[in-house]
Amino acid sequence: MARANDTLMSVRAPVGDLNVAHMDCCIGRGLAAIHSKTNQQSFVLYTMYSLRKQLEVFNGEGTVFGSINRNSLNDMPIIIPTADAIEEFERIVAPMDTQIRNNYDEICRLQEMRDTLLPRLMSGELDVSEIDL
């Protein structure tokens, strides 16, 4: 299971593709959910982005499709800054990530409105000719 805002990473070809869980959801075998125990999800996400070059190696390994397992991911060397540095990073970046999420939500709402209204406009069911723009 992935929790809302967990970093999602493809563990099968293409290894290392990243996304963020929009809501709590069930994930399949080709996807890993990476959750911060200290609720510092922005730091986790951008740390995973920084590992993209290292993860590319796993796309060429395996029999037919690239893959990575938990041990290989855990063995990757990463630099973990001080707790204060991570907190400062979160203070700056998390609001931007929240805005990205809010923008995505608004796009979804607008697409839904468009998909509801456009057919009604095209069929003449709704008339907007009297609206003064």
- Residue 16 domain-assigned? yes
Does the pLDDT at position 100 exceed 70?
Answer: yes
CATH code at position 41: 3.90.220
Q: How many CB atoms lie within 10 A of CB 32?
A: 19
Domain region containing 95: 7-123
What's the domain count of the chain? 1
Distance (Å, rounded) from C-alpha 44 to C-alpha 40?
7
Residue 132 lies in a domain: no
User: What tens digit of pLDDT does each residue of 7-60 get?
Assistant: 999 998 889 999 999 999 999 999 999 999 999 999 999 999 999 988 888 887
Residue 1 lies in a domain: no
E-assigned strands of the chain?
7-10, 18-20, 31-34
For residue 63, what pLDDT band results from cuts at 50, 70 and 90? low
* Coil vs helix vs strand at 64: coil
Per-chain mean pLDDT for the chain: 92
Higher pLDDT, 105 or 13: 105
What's the pLDDT tens digit per position in 18-33?
999 999 999 999 999 9
- Does residue 106 have a pLDDT over 60? yes
- The verdict on residue 85 lying in a domain is yes
Is 62 a residue whose pLDDT tops 70? no
Q: Is residue 35 part of a domain?
A: yes
Say if 72 falls within a structural domain: yes
Residue 131 lies in a domain: no
Query: Residue 51: inside a domain, yes or no?
Result: yes
